[in-house]
Amino acid sequence: MKARKVAELIDGEILSGKDLLDNVEVKTAFAADLMSDVLAYVESEKNDVILITGITNPQIVRTAEMLDIPVIIVARGKKVPEETIKLAEEKGIIIIATKHIVFTTSGILYMNGIKPAKLRVRGEDTHSF
């Protein structure tokens, strides 16, 4: 699904990455307020994950950047600070703000074919020196 379609489905307001809406294709989503969990669980090998969150600080963009997550949805009508929007613009990440809560946002996207994000296999093959 194109990022533009995602924004339409959730009555979203595009805060950053307006020029990318027709280029970015997303297939899966992960919802969390804990960026630690996003970093620990999300396998984004195909770079097609949407991050749905209720927090607004620049760390949401940094987290998306590290995992090559192209679209962030900020739910429950939260006001997104300018520094977060600026960083997202700089990093080529789309931020969509919606008045819907995380539950509703997720439900709408799920009903329209967005699948749960693939989770990382939590390897035990790492060992100490």
Partner 1 sequence: MEKTPILSETFKIKGRDYEHGGEASSKIKSILKRLGIDPNIIKRVSICAYEAEMNIIIYAYEGTLTLMVYNDMIKLIAEDIGPGIPDIELAMKEGYSTAPPEAIELGFGAGMGLPNMKNNSDRMNIETEVNKGTKVIIEVDLKNER
The distance of closest approach from Cβ of residue 23 to partner 1 in the complex, given in angstroms and rounded to an integer, is 18
79 is a site residue for partner 1 (CB under 8 A): no
Site string for partner 1, 15-54 (x = CB under 8 A): -----------------xxxxxxxxx---xx-------x-
Of positions 15, 31, 67, 109, contacts partner 1 by CB under 8 A: 67
For partner 1, how many residues bind (rule: CB under 8 A)? 34
- The DSSP-derived string for 32-92 is -S-HHHHHHHB--TTS-EEEEES--STHHHHHHHHHT--EEEE-TTPPPPHHHHHHHHHHT
Question: 72-97 burial string, b = 16+ CB within 10 Å, else e?
Answer: bbbbeeeebeeebbebbbeeebbbbb
At residue 99, the 3 state secondary structure works out as coil
65 is a site residue for partner 1 (CB under 8 A): yes
62 is a site residue for partner 1 (CB under 8 A): yes
Beta bridge partners of 21: none
| Interaction site with partner 1 (CB under 8 A) | 32-40, 44-45, 53, 55, 57-60, 62-63, 65-68, 83, 91, 120-123, 125-129
